[in-house]
Structure 1
Amino acid sequence: MKNKTVIITGGASGIGKAAAELFAEAGANVVISDIDSIQGDEVIREIRSGGGIASFFKTDVAKPEQMEALVQYALDTYGKLDIAVNNAGIGGEQNTITDMSLEGWQKIISVNLSSVFYGMKYQIAAMLKSGGGSVVNISSILGAVGFAGSAGYSAAKHGIIGLTQTAALEYSAQNIRINAVGPGFIDTPLLNAMDAAMKNQLIAMHPIGRLGKSREVAELIFWLGSEKSSFVTGSYYPIDGGYLSK
């Protein structure tokens, strides 16, 4: 990973933070983006204190002009873009379809799905200029199945897989690989609002008997970003403790 430049959206916490740390440990130039600049700056300090190379760029991924600016920042700072991890997302409004607000639907589609399109639009263009790269889009197990009360989230995560497969068809012959990762329920700040009883219900849905850890997902992201996965493109990789096997 030395001299490789990586963009990670939603890199201030959870899976994104774990991925940023792993890429930095391997010698990559890491550009973390997030809407939370305070936590983002803290992650940068931690990485630099460990000898890693990292920068922070505040980004609202739902705004295409900010996603374009993020890519330009990576190019201006490190000269090229080799790997992009489109990880930023929200849980969004939990409601049945008839009760879901239009605003809630639009927000989750913008943040979780449109952002991945915006990211790839500018990331791939930059990679084409430097001869190739790897894009890893973070979907979910709910990109493969439904989940009552999460219509917006599930629709967005299904959409990420379709975007990933289409992009792979369009650009793999030009040395740009695009893949998707489907985490199960991971013990991240996204679950902090849940009480113990609800968390235990989630744990029971995973045959492995626990929630996943951010570092475990980061290891898969890292592999897909690296040359060790050089023949892998257009794929969707669940990492779910057996959730989808039921």
Structure 2
Amino acid sequence: MDHGRRRHRAPLIVVASTVRHIGPAELRPIGIGEPLATHDVADRSAIVTGAGSGIGRRAVALLPAANGAAVLVHDLTSDAADKVVQEVVDAGGTAAAFVGDAADEDVAVAAVEAAEALAPLRIAVDNAGIGGPDLPVGEYPTEAWCSVIDVNLDGVFYGMRAQSPAIAAH
């Protein structure tokens, strides 16, 4: 009898259609700077929103570029986008800056067009996000709440709605 305790299950590794359990001895920490995954994505483009800084830059925009994708570095500011583009180009990759508000539906459509100009769009990471003021709910300004929802929720929806048909077409 287990008395409500959860049984430990080994992690699953999925490779193509093969599933196997691995034991703790096979697990190892990922080193700093070591990619989590590599895939050949040459001759494809990737849109990464919020790619000018943070996770969008470090973990998302640079990885597809390192694996051969032409990356559309989508950010709210040209300085941030241009710096990441230069970083990709200096490393031998292909990238283009795209400046616009991810929470704008027309910008999402234009980003897809810009990515398609680089190569067929196959990868989209709607990563743009903002944090609101650090305030208790009772003091939280409605305008700030609307801004957070616009970027973090609506922006993802607009991006996916514009990107999905282009990705499915290839």
Same-fold call, TM cutoff 0.5 = yes
Q: Quick one: structure 1 residues 30 and 127, their matched pair in 2 at CA, closer, same or farther if it must change by over 3 Å?
A: same
**Normalised TM-score (structure 1):** 0.51
* Larger Cα-atom Rg: 2
Alpha-carbon deviation of 1:38?
A: 0.7
RMSD: 1.1
* Number of the residue aligned with 1:203: none
* Number of the residue aligned with 1:198: none
Structure 1 segments of 4+ aligned residues over 3 angstroms from their partners: none
* Number of the residue aligned with 1:84: 124
- Please list, as runs of the form range in 1=range in 2, the aligned pairs for 1:177-192 lying within 5 A after superposition: none
Identity of aligned residues (%): 39
133, 147, 164: which one aligns with 1:93: 133
**1:102 aligned partner, one-letter code:** T
* Number of the residue aligned with 1:24: 65
1:119 to 2:159 alignment? yes
Alpha-carbon deviation of 1:29?
A: 1.0
Alpha-carbon deviation of 1:55?
A: 0.7
* Number of the residue aligned with 1:37: 78
**2:126 aligned partner, one-letter code:** N
Alpha-carbon deviation of 1:77?
A: 2.8
Distance, in Å, in 2 between the alignment partners of 1:101 and 1:77 is 41
Count of paired positions: 129
Q: Secondary structure at the match of 2:137?
A: coil
85, 89, 108: which one aligns with 1:67: 108
* Number of the residue aligned with 2:21: none
Distance, in Å, in 1 between the alignment partners of 2:108 and 2:158 is 6
Distance, in Å, in 1 between the alignment partners of 2:149 and 2:80 is 24
Q: Secondary structure at the match of 2:89?
A: helix
Q: Secondary structure at the match of 2:165?
A: helix
* Number of the residue aligned with 1:7: 47
Name the structure where helix makes up a greater proportion of residues: 1
Task: Point out where structure 2 has 5 or more consecutive residues left out of the alignment.
Answer: 1-40
Contact 2:45 2:118 in 1 (8 A): no
Contact 2:102 2:108 in 1 (8 A): yes
Q: Secondary structure at the match of 1:12?
A: coil
Alpha-carbon deviation of 1:81?
A: 0.8
Q: Secondary structure at the match of 1:72?
A: helix
Distance, in Å, in 1 between the alignment partners of 2:145 and 2:80 is 27
Distance, in Å, in 2 between the alignment partners of 1:120 and 1:39 is 23
- Please list, as runs of the form range in 1=range in 2, the aligned pairs for 1:146-161 lying within 5 A after superposition: none
Task: Point out where structure 1 has 5 or more consecutive residues left out of the alignment.
Answer: 131-246
